[in-house]
Amino acid sequence: MLVRGWRPLLEIAPRLEVACFEVSKEEALRVAIRFGQAAREAVDEAQDEAMPETEAVTMLGRCSLALIASAAARARDAHSTEFALDGLEAMSCAGVGTVAYVDMFLASLWCRLSREAAVHQVLPREPQQHQEPRHVRRLLPMTLALGLRLATSLRALGVNELGEVLPSQAGHLDLAAASRTVTLAAKHALLVASSRSELTEQQETLISFLDRLSTPPATLSQSQRLQKK
């Protein structure tokens, strides 16, 4: 959107929030980012002028979240694996989101990789140093580029401390089973690249991050209790 400043957006925010499904899912993400940024601009201006946050911030944030929600609801209709990552990155840029929408975007990616595996009739993988879990083998193998982008976008959600997106346990999102499978696939792609010395030191840290995300909450809690003992 080419509108400058956040004040002009207040006029269309309520209408756009109601009509969020009338724009394409791709456009919804782009506009959500602009409204999320506008909400932050309004907060910054209020702080500079020593004024309390106004209803404007709430209106802009609600509109941004509604657009994210509309895109997440239609994510399974996407024609590529890129859209799910676009959605995760949009939440980070907009500064709004919930774990539910993270799950919806990751579930759409799971569906996409499952369908492509069936279409391409993926053959059994050759034995490797890092063996994939059985349920990950049902997906189309994830490329290193896709795995890195997925891991980076998920970590950005935590680093930016977005509203309801962050879990109570640092570094761990309470994800659904399909979402955890996708993070496992990304972790495997990075492990294979690491065994070939294709990752930088900073990228290596993403492996342990994905390991935490792919671990069921109950298992993680039990592991933490054992470590404390």
Question: Distance (Å, rounded) from C-alpha 65 to C-alpha 71?
Answer: 10
pLDDT number for residue 169:
41
What confidence score (pLDDT) does residue 2 get? 54
For the ranges 2-6, 47-51, 72-76, 168-172, the one whose mean pLDDT is highest: 72-76
Question: Strand, helix or coil at 215?
Answer: coil
Per residue in 93-144, pLDDT tens? Answer: 998 888 899 999 999 999 999 888 776 655 455 545 555 556 666 677 889 9
pTM for the predicted model, two decimal places? 0.82
pLDDT at position 164, please? 45
Predicted confidence at residue 71, as pLDDT, reads 97
Q: Which of 107, 116, 1 is nearest to 60 (CA)?
A: 1
Whole-angstrom Cα distance, residue 165 to residue 95?
9
Q: Per-residue pLDDT tens for 142-161?
A: 899 999 999 999 988 865 44
Q: Is 184 within 8 Å of 214 (Cβ atoms)?
A: yes
Q: According to the model, what pLDDT value does residue 219 have? A: 56
The structure tokens 């065994």 sit at 195
Residue 32, token pair as written in the block:
């959500």
Q: Please name the residues in contact with 131: beta carbons below 8 A apart, sequence gap of 6 or more.
A: none
Look at residue 164 and give its three-state secondary structure.
strand
Position 170 scores a pLDDT of 42
> Measured between alpha carbons, how far is 85 from 10 in angstroms, rounded to an integer?
28
- Model pLDDT, residue 137: 67
pLDDT in tens, 25-35: 999 999 999 99
Among the residue ranges 3-12, 79-88, 114-123, the one predicted with the least confidence is 114-123
- Would you say 185 and 139 are in contact if contact means Cβ atoms under 8 Å apart? yes
Contacts of 37 (CB under 8 A, 6+ apart): 93, 94, 95
Question: pLDDT, tens digit, for every residue of 185-224?
Answer: 999 999 989 999 999 998 999 999 898 888 886 654 444 4
